[in-house]
Chains A and B, each alone.
Chain A
Amino acid sequence: MSKAKAYKKRLKEAARDPKISVALKRAIESYRKNVDEALKKFPHTLKLAEEVRGIKEQSIPRMEELAAQACEAIRQNKGKASIARTPGEALEIIEGIVGTGKLIVKGKSLTGEEIDLREHLEARGNEVYETDLGEYIIQQLGIKPMHLLAPAIHVPKEDVAKLLSRVTGKKIPPDIETEVATVRGILRDKFFRADIGMSGANVVAADTGTLFQIENEGNIRLSTSAPPICICLVGMEKIVPTIEDAFKVAEVTWRFAGYTVPAYVNLVSGPSKTGDIEKVITYGAHGPKEMHVIFLDAGRSKLAKDPAFQEALFCLRCGGCLYECPLFAVTAGRFGDKYFGGIGAIWTAFVTGDLTDAAPLTYSCLSCGRCKVRCPMEIDAPQMCLELRKRITQGS
């Protein structure tokens, strides 16, 4: 079966699955309510979003330079930093640090998903735990995530109860509170026994080398601070010039993800340290002793030079567009590959695949334009999908 045919089949199956449409209907309703309230409470967000668009317009053409600056800053903080040009290079660096037979706790990372990081580490004989609740469910079920921020959006509590009963060998009732407590119990000692913790980042400040990690569950702070080694894989497009810029990007990101404020924002700039004994700086206090940051290029620097498509790199991954896409509402993550929706088609064409992979996605866009209205960066994904179609017919 051709890629396009297989995609079409998956898309149709998803659209026929009432679990998906019911879950999405609820999610869309609550997202719109949350984001409306968050924007009402913090009306400056719209102005801030314009400012962030300006920051992105400045940063993306300077991506190489900012990446070099961020690496240098992280090194000065006694962290290790590198730029991986391909997914293969990134995996090689990470596998070099990890080795084999390790216990790894992992925060949700789209960039990790992009290079199949967990699968590779598992294949090398490591025990890897996804610690984001939704991602944990997805991992245990052996399926693919359906949403950027809520990967298990389509799995009802009854299915989660069945899954957790199987994992624990005990009868877990389909009660959400019990389910959350059960996963907390399972993962608790993993965080503290883990050899390595992993995460991504929502935005990175080049001047200080600071990674911003936005979260609500507390699993990222545990993953990046409890184990002795911390590894963060970050897309190169996430870097902005200053820590002040990064704060702005972070605030717009969580607000458009539907939060007034998230429970946690972790700022990580290097390994843990103390100077409390004789003012001698010693690395590896309560947090990790080693901190590694890998910036992933994988087509981003090429995309940054393409005027028709570079806007795709402005994406903050707030997920807002997906809630406005009429196709996503009935198919969820099946409208996408590693990245979803119309914007996902562009990322597929330039970053995670090629024109052949992107063709079925770009021809799935209704070009209705509502995603652009929602997008805090006003990314014109439908127009880019049409541009992509043009390139497809021209074979270039």
Chain B
Amino acid sequence: MPGRSVRKKEQRLVPEGLLLFRDNILSKGNIFGATSKARWAKGLELPAQGETIFFAGCGYQFLGEAEAILAAVRALDKRNLPWERTLGVTQFLNKRGINLGDLYGKITRRFRRAENPLLSAVEVLQGMDIDLGYLAEEEPCCAAPLYYAGFREEFAAQAEKTQALFKEKGITKLIGMVPSCTFALRSLFPRGSKGRQVEVSHFLEIVWEKIKKGKRFRLPREVIVTYHDPCILSRYLSLTEEPRQILRSIEGVVFADVERNKEEWSTCCGGGGGFEVIYPEISHTIAANRVEELLKTGASTIVTSCPGCLIQLREGVKKLKAREVEVMDMAQLLRSALPEG
């Protein structure tokens, strides 16, 4: 067993951005160290229990916050200024009684429903007659960032706590929104012998099932759409046909698939494995490269299904000054294609 000082020294080798994620997850149960994660759902009156639980995930719950912090961090990194502390601003402000999560929550709430992937997803799922529960403030963190940073013991401990919570609440089905959470809950969590196994689906799988059974979506006007495969969905969860089938089934969508696609060749948005908080500037360059590939399709709308990719691609579009191009979540596109009334 290495002594405490040895461990400390080794942990200096872990990038600061990932250490902050770890500390936030361990102390606050979310990657941003915010005190509230469920503000987005205010007014939805989703029950706090049920057999099928909507697992929103940090990435979507703090989408606005993450986007703003990353933009700030990138601006500093480009000027070669130390930006690591900016990531820690959350803790700094928390200590002084200011909660950044709350602050951004207020901004996020101002977002129109169509612009919020979570609100859109809930509306789409409910529109398909699915009874959803949402654990709200009790929603545990999937802790995947701990796994990716190398903190396996901490990850295993979180996983155990989470599994116990699911068991206690009698949850049998989860609908994941964030690819990384979905993968962690489905594949990285130890297959314990204790209790029932929770069935973990991704939002796209649920939607595709319903479309197969006859559910129809229609856009008010025709749009050329391309799809970006999030690495975790494509290469880790093999979810590549479902999004394409969904897009092809939406009336009004002209689907233009990108050349580099699916499990084999889809290109990373530059935000994999926490890279964006280790190398913010380079991550931005990689995002722009991916957007360039996607725009070769002639699409005016890039659809994806991951909060990390969403932020990256939006930043990439900005970098390329492709002002006419819109990046949106599949949930948003589906919501705008819901039948009226």
Contact = CB atoms under 8 A, between A and B. Distances in A.
Interface of A: 4, 8, 11-12, 15, 21, 324, 326-327, 329-331, 355-356, 359-360, 363-370, 373, 382, 386, 388-396
Interface string B241-284: 00000000000000000000001111110111101001101100
Contacts of A330: 282, 285-286, 289
Given A324-B265, A355-B10, 19 more contacts: A12-B282, A15-B281, A326-B270, A329-B286, A329-B289, A331-B282, A356-B13, A360-B13, A366-B286, A367-B231, A368-B268, A373-B263, A373-B265, A386-B150, A389-B149, A390-B150, A392-B10, A393-B14, A395-B2
A90 B21 CA distance: 44
Which of B2, B150, B275 gathers the greatest number of chain A CB atoms within 10 Å?
B150
Contacts of B15: 363
Contact of A370 (B265, B282, B286, B289): B265
The 6 closest A-B pairs by CB, nearest first: A389-B150, A395-B10, A368-B268, A366-B272, A359-B13, A367-B273
Contacts of B14: 359, 363, 389, 392-393
Which of A331, A370, A391 gathers the greatest number of chain B CB atoms within 10 Å?
A370
Contacts of B18: 363
11 contacts: A324-B265, A326-B270, A326-B286, A363-B14, A364-B275, A367-B231, A369-B236, A370-B235, A391-B150, A393-B149, A393-B152
Contacts of B13: 4, 355-356, 359-360, 392
Nearest to A335: B282
Contacts of B314: none
Nearest to A365: B273
Given A359-B13, A367-B148, A373 B286 contact: no
A326 B273 contact: no
A15 B319 CA distance: 15
Interface residues of B, number: 40
Contact of B268 (A360, A366, A373, A391): A366
A64 B289 CA distance: 45
Nearest to B266: A370
B252 to A, nearest CB: 32
Nearest to A362: B150
A99 B284 CA distance: 51
A373 B235 contact: yes
A57 to B, nearest CB: 23
B44 to A, nearest CB: 34
A15 B285 contact: yes
Nearest to B15: A363
Contacts of B273: 365-368, 382, 386
B147 interface: yes
Given A12-B281, A15-B281, A394-B10, A326 B268 contact: yes
B7 interface: yes
Given A330-B285, A355-B10, A369-B236, A393 B279 contact: no
Given A330-B286, A395-B2, A366 B149 contact: no
Contacts of B7: 394-395
B1 to A, nearest CB: 10
Interface string B146-178: 011111100000000000000000000000000
A392 B6 CA distance: 11
A373 B265 CA distance: 8
A359 B14 CA distance: 7
Nearest to B230: A368
Nearest to A358: B13
Contact of B264 (A15, A373, A386, A393): A373
A329 B289 CA distance: 9
Contacts of A388: 150
A242 B147 CA distance: 42
Contacts of B231: 366-370
Given A327-B282, A356-B13, A395-B6, A368 B150 contact: no
A363 B263 contact: no
A11 B147 contact: no
Contacts of A4: 13
B277 to A, nearest CB: 11
B42 interface: no
A49 B257 CA distance: 30
B9 interface: yes
A374 to B, nearest CB: 9
B186 interface: no
Nearest to B8: A395
Contacts of B150: 386, 388-394
A324 B264 CA distance: 10
